[in-house]
């Protein structure tokens, strides 16, 4: 199963809105087939592994990271392929999180006389597909906050000079992260200050661009901004409130971008409504790279699931220099959001701290 999980991870950034899945066929103690879901619409992991195993799949055990599908989607049901191959035992890491189909594949295989076991390395499997699991159960994207700061927590100098706080290895890591997510979000202030591309730029042109979202309640963004004019396979979605002028909406649409209008709260985009809209559009993972106010708004609303914080080995200082989080923040320490399952690693000269968040009930 550990090998199956490792195989599944090879599909990162390419399978959404499907999950990453890996499969291994074992007969008489030997691996005779392996496979993984390479891209959305392509063969599922079970099918790849069974094809490689060929006739040796007859009477074998199939290890698969997610419950085999028992319905027609982009491809035929994997359960039928498993039965046709002669598999006798199926070991599953995670049941299907979709409440409408959960357990259906396992139950069907059991009804046909196969031995089915579930739960092996289940935690690792759910972490691998954490965005897919949230989308299937909550109907909203998994929100990842990413920031880069100095050791004293500043994301720019007092004159708003911010390029670059981190070194080249850290920036390459971030581009790999962009490839992995469905969408990336910033505020209009970041776009007006830095004019970013918000694309994936990896060596040899590898990686896909995420959908670009810009929060801009009154559509102040210049029409020559890179997010509106660059060539990319991924679209740009401008998110505004009803106060945005209709002529600016039309001008942005004529440039090929989409305009999403949400209700306003204190003249700002209502984030919970936006996440529901994104969920309906099958966006499973959202990377928030916005400035301090956008990050603060997501944290204030308790909408961040995971974070990546880069700390560069430098001190910026200054009362006017912006910090990592703006917004309202906690009034009492008891209200602070608690980080857990932390990991710390060195990337170049920078330190990357990653973890998950728990929002206190009080």
pLDDT for the residue numbered 205: 79
SS (H, E, C) the chain: CHHHHHHHHHHCCCCCCCCCCEEEEEECCEEEEEEECCCCCCCCHHHHHHHHHHHHHCCCEEEEEECCCCCCCCCCCHHHHHHHHCCCEEEEEECCCCCCCCCHHHHHHHHCCCEEEECCCHHHHHHHCHHHHHHHHHCCCEEEEEEEEECCCECCCCCCCCCCCCCHHHHHHHHHHHHHCCEEEEEHHHHHHHCCCCCCCCHHHCCCCCEEEEECCCCCCCCCCHHHHCCCCCCEEEEECCCCCHHHHHHHHHCCCEEEECCEECCEECHHHHHHHHHHCCCCEEEECCCHHHHHHHHHCCCCCEEEEEEECCCCCCCCCCECCCCCCCCCHHHCCEEEEEEEEEECCEEEEEEEEECCCC
pLDDT for the residue numbered 215: 97
14 is in an annotated binding site: no
117 is in an annotated binding site: no
Start-end of CATH 3.40.140.10 domains in the chain: 1-129
173 is in an annotated binding site: no
pLDDT for the residue numbered 99: 76
176 is in an annotated binding site: no
For residues 265-293, average pLDDT: 94
56 is in an annotated binding site: no
127 is in an annotated binding site: no
Given a cut of 90, whether residue 160 has pLDDT beyond it is no
pLDDT for the residue numbered 229: 94
Given a cut of 50, whether residue 121 has pLDDT beyond it is yes
Range 55-91 burial, b when 16+ CB lie within 10 A, else e: ebbeebbbbbbbbbbbeeeeeebbbebbeebebeebb
44 is in an annotated binding site: yes
- The CATH homologous superfamily for domain 139-356 is Dihydrofolate Reductase, subunit A (3.40.430.10)
60 is in an annotated binding site: no
pLDDT for the residue numbered 89: 98
Given a cut of 50, whether residue 168 has pLDDT beyond it is yes
pLDDT for the residue numbered 51: 97
Q: pLDDT, tens digit, for every residue of 131-149? A: 999 999 999 999 999 999 9
List, in sequence order, every residue forming a beta bridge with 215; answer none if it has no partner: 187, 239
294 is in an annotated binding site: yes
> Which residue would you say has higher pLDDT here, 251 or 205?
251
Per-residue confidence at 362, pLDDT binned at 50, 70, 90? very low
- The CATH homologous superfamily for domain 1-129 is Cytidine Deaminase, domain 2 (3.40.140.10)
Start-end of CATH 3.40.430.10 domains in the chain: 139-356
Residues noted as catalytic: 46
Q: pLDDT, tens digit, for every residue of 209-264? A: 999 999 999 999 999 999 999 999 999 999 999 999 999 999 999 999 999 999 99
Q: pLDDT, tens digit, for every residue of 29-41? A: 999 999 999 999 9
293 is in an annotated binding site: yes
């Amino acid at each position: 199963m550990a090998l199956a999980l490792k195989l599944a991870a090879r599909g990162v950034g390419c399978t959404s809105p499907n999950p990453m899945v890996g499969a291994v066929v074992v007969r008489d103690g030997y691996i005779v087939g392996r496979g993984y879901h390479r891209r959305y619409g392509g063969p599922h992991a079970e099918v790849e592994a069974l094809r490689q195993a060929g006739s040796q799949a007859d009477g074998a055990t199939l290890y698969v990271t997610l419950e085999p599908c028992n319905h027609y989607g982009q491809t035929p049901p994997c359960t039928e392929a498993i039965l046709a191959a002669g598999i006798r035992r199926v070991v599953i890491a995670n049941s299907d999180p979709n409440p409408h189909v959960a357990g259906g594949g396992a139950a069907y295989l059991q009804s046909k006389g196969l031995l089915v076991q579930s739960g092996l390395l289940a935690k690792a499997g759910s972490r691998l597909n954490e965005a897919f699991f949230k989308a299937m159960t909550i109907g909203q994207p998994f929100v990842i906050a990413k920031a880069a700061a100095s050791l004293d927590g500043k994301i720019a100098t007092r004159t708003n000079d911010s390029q670059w706080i981190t070194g080249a290895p850290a920036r390459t890591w971030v581009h790999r992260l962009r490839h992995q997510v469905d969408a990336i979000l910033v505020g209009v202030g970041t776009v007006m200050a830095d004019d970013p591309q918000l694309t994936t730029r990896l060596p040899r042109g590898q990686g896909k661009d995420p959908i670009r979202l810009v929060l801009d309640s009154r559509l102040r963004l210049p029409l020559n901004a890179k997010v509106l004019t660059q060539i990319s396979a991924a679209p740009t979605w401008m998110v505004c409130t009803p106060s945005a002028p209709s002529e600016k909406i039309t001008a942005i649409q004529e440039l090929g971008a989409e305009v999403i209008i949400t209700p306003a709260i204190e003249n700002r985009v209502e984030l919970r409504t936006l996440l529901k809209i994104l969920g309906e559009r099958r966006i499973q993972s959202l990377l928030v790279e916005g400035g301090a106010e956008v990050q603060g708004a997501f944290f204030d609303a308790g909408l961040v699931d995971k974070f990546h914080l880069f700390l560069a080995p430098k001190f910026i200082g200054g009362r006017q220099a912006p910090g990592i989080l703006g917004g309202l923040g906690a009034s009492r320490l008891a209200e602070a959001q608690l980080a857990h399952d932390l990991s710390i690693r060195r990337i170049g000269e920078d330190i990357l701290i990653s973890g998950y968040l728990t929002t206190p009930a009080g």
